[in-house]
């Protein structure tokens, strides 16, 4: 593997970094305070071809693969992890199964508008009684003629309150367990579909909601792929999503480090910058080293993914590793900033609140460790 990004990827990193600093950064304060996602970013990113860089150009994507996805999410997370979460879903869980298994008609109707930023996507899997045990979902889809009747509830759904459509996991035959799970494209305007905003400790600018489906009549043509293959589609999508989530955590860790390095150079105690004291200098040295290691690991796994390799173990590893990185970096940032970091207006307290989510979303850390153990032949 060539550990140097190619020229196209380098140009994209520069472009998206400039966009994030110019177009996203000014929106963060209001988005965090009002707990709303700035939806105008979807069409803005889409018009520039930045929204879903991993998809092929034939569907209006950037053709930059998973490496391109990771560059996008890392740079957005350096500015705001909450906003990056909504974009992450748009180019990943909310659309991947559609790209991989949808009909050409479905792709033109939903995928292309999503890549252009004209439609917002979400992915409905987690339920009140089914999280890590995804195979235990209780949402059902019953076939009636040319329609499926869907009933159930989904929670913690990123983009849920603002989505135009959701890729929904529902059981078409509960007696078959995971082999009875199917995936459906459900439009926001479907009668019986309601979304309620959920408030959170962190990632305030990410729109998260509870989705309720009450006798939703979904056309049979909105079945994605084959009936009973939804669980397989979910696992495929999650592998890519874990890598993108790792990029989010690398970006968040980088932001925490940069804020801390700047503060350590400016904060004067005992007549000198606190960065001149070994206690602080060693913290920053350690942060910088861990971020460098995580970044190399991240792009190695993204490269493996782009080569078409099955990397379930590596995706779990990098998600697990980078989640720990972000949490550790955010905690060290709080220590370096001390009282200044604890103030509500401090940016590092946001990093601290946002980072802790890394142990939960896209599969808990414990689930990642279980996946890794199984891939090692231990279970």
pLDDT digits (tens, 9 = 90+) for 301-352: 999 999 999 999 999 999 999 999 999 999 999 999 999 999 988 999 999 9
Q: pLDDT tens for the chain, 379 residues: list them.
A: 566 899 999 999 999 999 999 999 999 999 999 999 999 999 999 999 999 999 999 999 999 999 999 999 999 999 999 999 999 999 999 999 999 999 999 999 999 999 999 999 999 999 999 888 878 899 999 999 999 999 999 999 999 999 999 999 999 999 999 999 999 999 999 999 999 999 999 999 999 999 999 999 999 999 999 999 999 999 899 999 999 999 999 999 999 999 999 999 999 999 999 999 999 999 999 999 999 999 999 999 999 999 999 999 999 999 999 999 999 999 999 999 999 999 988 999 999 999 999 999 988 999 999 999 999 999 7
**Could you say which DSSP state residue 5 is in?**
P
Kindly report the pTM of this predicted structure. 0.95
Which residues neighbour 330 within 8 Å (Cβ) at sequence distance 6 or greater?
A: 252, 253, 256, 348, 351, 352, 354, 355, 356
Q: String of b and e for 99-136 (b: at least 16 CB within 10 Å)?
A: bebbeeebbebbbbbbbbbebbbbbbbbbeebbeebee
| Residue 35 backbone class (left: φ over 0; alpha: ψ -120 to 50; beta: rest) | left
Give me the catalytic one of 74, 127, 332, 362: 362
Which residues neighbour 305 within 8 Å (Cβ) at sequence distance 6 or greater?
A: 65, 66, 239, 240, 243, 311, 315
The mean pLDDT of the chain is 96
Structure tokens belonging to residue 105: 């008609």
List of E strands, the chain: 121-124, 140-144, 147-158, 165-171, 181-187, 193-197, 208-219, 223-224, 268-269, 272-273
Q: Measuring CA to CA, how many Å separate 130 from each of 55, 58, 200?
A: 30, 36, 19
Q: Is 362 a catalytic residue?
A: yes
Classify burial at 34, counting beta carbons within 10 Å of its beta carbon; exposed 0-12, middle 13-18, buried 19 or more.
Answer: exposed
Query: What is the tens place of the pLDDT at every residue in 170-213?
Result: 999 999 999 999 999 999 999 999 999 999 999 999 999 999 99
Domains of the chain: 7-116 (1.10.540.10), 121-228 (2.40.110.10), 232-375 (1.20.140.10)
Three-class SS state of 197: strand
d(CA 183, CA 222): 9
């Amino acid at each position: 593997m060539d550990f140097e990004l190619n020229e196209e990827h380098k140009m994209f990193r520069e472009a998206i970094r400039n966009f994030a600093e110019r177009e996203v950064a000014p929106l963060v304060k209001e988005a965090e305070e009002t707990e709303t996602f700035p939806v105008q970013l979807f069409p803005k990113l889409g018009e520039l071809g930045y929204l879903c860089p991993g998809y092929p150009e034939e569907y209006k994507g950037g053709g930059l693969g998973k490496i391109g996805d990771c560059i996008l999410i890392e740079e957005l997370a350096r500015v705001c992890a909450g906003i990056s979460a909504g974009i992450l879903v748009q180019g990943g869980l909310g659309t991947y199964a559609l790209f991989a298994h949808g009909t050409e008609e479905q792709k033109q109707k939903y995928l292309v508008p999503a890549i252009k930023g004209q439609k917002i996507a979400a992915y409905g899997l987690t339920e009140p009684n089914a999280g890590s045990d995804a195979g235990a979902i209780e949402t059902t889809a019953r076939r009636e003629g040319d329609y499926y009747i869907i009933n159930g509830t989904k929670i913690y759904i990123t983009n849920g309150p603002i989505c135009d459509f959701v890729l929904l996991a529902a059981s078409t035959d509960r007696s078959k367990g995971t082999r009875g799970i199917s995936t459906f494209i459900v439009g926001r305007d479907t009668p019986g579909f309601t979304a309620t905003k959920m408030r959170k400790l962190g990632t305030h600018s990410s729109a998260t909601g509870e989705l309720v489906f009450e006798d939703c009549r979904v056309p049979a043509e909105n079945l994605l792929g084959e009936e009973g293959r939804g669980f397989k589609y979910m696992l495929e999508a999650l592998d890519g999503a874990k890598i993108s989530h790792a990029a989010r955590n690398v970006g968040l860790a980088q932001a925490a480090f940069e804020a801390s390095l700047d503060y350590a150079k400016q904060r004067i105690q005992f007549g000198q910058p606190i960065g001149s004291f070994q206690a602080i200098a060693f913290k920053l040295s350690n942060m910088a080293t861990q971020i460098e290691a995580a970044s190399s690991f991240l792009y190695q796994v993204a490269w493996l993914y782009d080569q078409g390799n099955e990397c379930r173990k590596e995706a779990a590893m990098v998600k697990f590793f980078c989640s720990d990185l972000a949490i550790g970096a955010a905690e060290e940032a709080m220590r370096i900033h001390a009282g200044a970091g604890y103030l509500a207006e401090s940016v590092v307290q946001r990093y601290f609140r946002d980072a802790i989510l890394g142990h939960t979303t896209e599969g808990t850390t414990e689930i990642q460790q279980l996946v890794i153990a199984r891939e090692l032949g231990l279970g």
